Amino acid sequence: MSSAEPEIRYARSGDVHVAYYVVGEGPLDIVFVHGALTNLKVLREEPGIRRFYERLASFSRLIMFDKRGMGLSDHVSVGSLEERMDDIRAVMDAVGSERAALIGMSEGGPLSMLFAATYPERTEALLLVGAEVKEEETEDWPWGEATRESFETGMETLPERWGKSGANVTYFIPSAGNDPRLQDWWRRLMVESASPGTAIAFMRMAFEIDVRDIVASIRVPTLILHRQGDHVCHVENARYLAKRIPGARYLELDGDDHIPWGQNGDEIASEIQEFLTGARESPTPDRVLATVLFTDLVGSTERAVAVGDRRWAGLLETHHAAVRRELARFRGREIDTAGDGFLASFDGPARAIRCASAAIDSVRGLGLEIRAGVHTGECEIVGEKLGGIAVHIGARVAAKATAGEILVSGTVKDLVAGSGIAFEDRGVAELKGVPGSWPLFAVA
């Protein structure tokens, strides 16, 4: 699959233009039906989501689209379930897909169920991830998201809250914690998916959905995946579907995240692949040799006080953009961003060193100084992140560096022999929390 950004195209559904793109060249078509918020470009900016898409596209032709009224599609009325079902058909027709597997997540679940029940001849399979049955909590459905009274209260205050806080990302993705980068992305997704008025109209439409009367009519192969502690959509939604969709396979997973690419996202992608193809991708190893790069702005607190909060926020944003450009250039993968520092991984230490050097040069023109530390060792794979002693060593090495300096461990120095990179001996250091003594070297 190409790493290039996919081309946005438009399908005609009645008078509405529905934005879509296609990635992957597999023999099987998959139509991904998102939940409440969609913007094709903003969604792909989040690395975890993009990797999840790429897993699916590794064995299929993955078809993504923005719902009517949202994202890059025409900003019209959000429409009914029936009209939005027509949008799926229009996108499939536009790409020449006669039959496709539908992945419905969250509110996209009911839409996918209706399509599968109505057009079984065009539905290869139905995959429901965190899918809902009925949003309103009632006496005969205690597993809804809200009572009508609390829902109406929320709608009254939604316009003043829309796009102003990304903190509610922790409600949808508890495993992410209070990640400021993810919160910023969530705010942008809200604003660039829909206006407050469109969001209210969509949520009102979704709140009235109740698919209990149609699920028994689904006659296509169905896989239901749901995390046991899902905060948004109670697990009893999935258990209900598993009992009433004929022949459905049900897998209940550990975790609290609502979106499929969160906790155990690789497992979800593997289950989808096995269900659709009969083959499962080999398990991802839980340990890997990697080079970790830590960068940190020097004197950031003093500089922030000197220039003021607004100016500092702009400088910090420019710094982040500059570092990310160099990471892309040297094939680094951003693992984490904490305040004014980065953790990234590389498949080779020389690239990590050259990336750090380029990043130092690129922000120096802003009047900013970076220090960096590089170490190569065996890392634990923890979801989309890295952990283990090698990561701790990299952090401690970086903490010993001075402004504009790149410090590396002896392991790194030995591995880049012959690369033309020169070093100066910085002696042997004790690294806090790490046993032993560690020879350190500065890139000359």
Query: What digits encode the pLDDT tens for the residues 319-351?
Result: 999 999 999 999 899 999 877 899 999 988 899
Give backbone dihedrals phi and psi of 61, rounded to 5 degrees, phi first.
-100, 110
Confidence at residue 282, expressed as pLDDT on a 0 to 100 scale: 52
Task: Give the Cα separation of 166 and 207 in Å (integer).
Answer: 22
Whole-number average pLDDT of the chain: 90
Q: Which two tokens stand for residue 417?
A: 């022999």
Fold of 9-277: Rossmann fold (3.40.50)
User: Tens digits of per-residue pLDDT, 24-81?
Assistant: 999 999 999 999 889 999 999 888 898 899 999 999 999 999 999 999 999 999 887 7
Task: Give the Cα separation of 56 and 23 in Å (integer).
Answer: 9
Inter-axis angle of helices 81-94 and 108-118, nearest 10: 70
Stretch among 125-134, 140-149, 166-175, 365-374 having the lowest mean pLDDT: 166-175
Confidence at residue 2, expressed as pLDDT on a 0 to 100 scale: 43
Count Cα atoms within 13 angstroms, Cβ side, for 182. 21
Domain with CATH 3.30.70.1230 in the chain: 287-443
Q: Which two tokens stand for residue 301?
A: 């607190």
Task: Give the Cα separation of 63 and 379 in Å (integer).
Answer: 34
β partners of residue 127: 103, 223
The bridge status of strand 222-227 relative to strand 249-253 is: parallel
Largest CA distance in the chain: 73
Which is the CATH superfamily of the domain at 287-443? Answer: Nucleotide cyclase, GGDEF domain (3.30.70.1230)
User: Residue 196: how many CB atoms within 10 A of its CB?
Assistant: 16
Give backbone dihedrals phi and psi of 34, rounded to 5 degrees, phi first.
-75, 175
CB 340 within 8 Å of CB 299: no
* Distances in whole angstroms, Cα of residue 382 to Cα of each of 48, 49, 359, 375: 13, 16, 27, 18
Domain with CATH 3.40.50.1820 in the chain: 9-277
Whether the per-residue pLDDT at 117 is higher than 70: the answer is: yes
Stretch among 78-82, 217-221, 361-365, 408-412 having the lowest mean pLDDT: 78-82
* Distances in whole angstroms, Cα of residue 378 to Cα of each of 324, 336, 388, 390, 439: 24, 18, 8, 6, 18
Confidence at residue 289, expressed as pLDDT on a 0 to 100 scale: 77
Confidence at residue 183, expressed as pLDDT on a 0 to 100 scale: 87
- The answer for residues whose C-beta is within 8 angstroms of residue 337's C-beta and 6 or more apart is 180, 181, 320, 343
Average pLDDT over residues 89-109: 96
Task: Give the Cα separation of 442 and 58 in Å (integer).
Answer: 41
* pTM of the predicted structure, to 2 decimals: 0.66
pLDDT confidence of 357, banded at 50, 70, 90?
Answer: very high
Q: Which two tokens stand for residue 88?
A: 């799926």
Task: Calculate Rg over the CA atoms of the chain.
Answer: 24
| 3 state SS of 346 | strand
pLDDT confidence of 286, banded at 50, 70, 90?
Answer: low
Task: Give the Cα separation of 42 and 112 in Å (integer).
Answer: 23
User: Tens digits of per-residue pLDDT, 202-250?
Assistant: 999 889 888 988 899 899 999 999 999 998 999 999 999 999 999 999 9
Confidence at residue 87, expressed as pLDDT on a 0 to 100 scale: 95
Average pLDDT over residues 107-123: 92
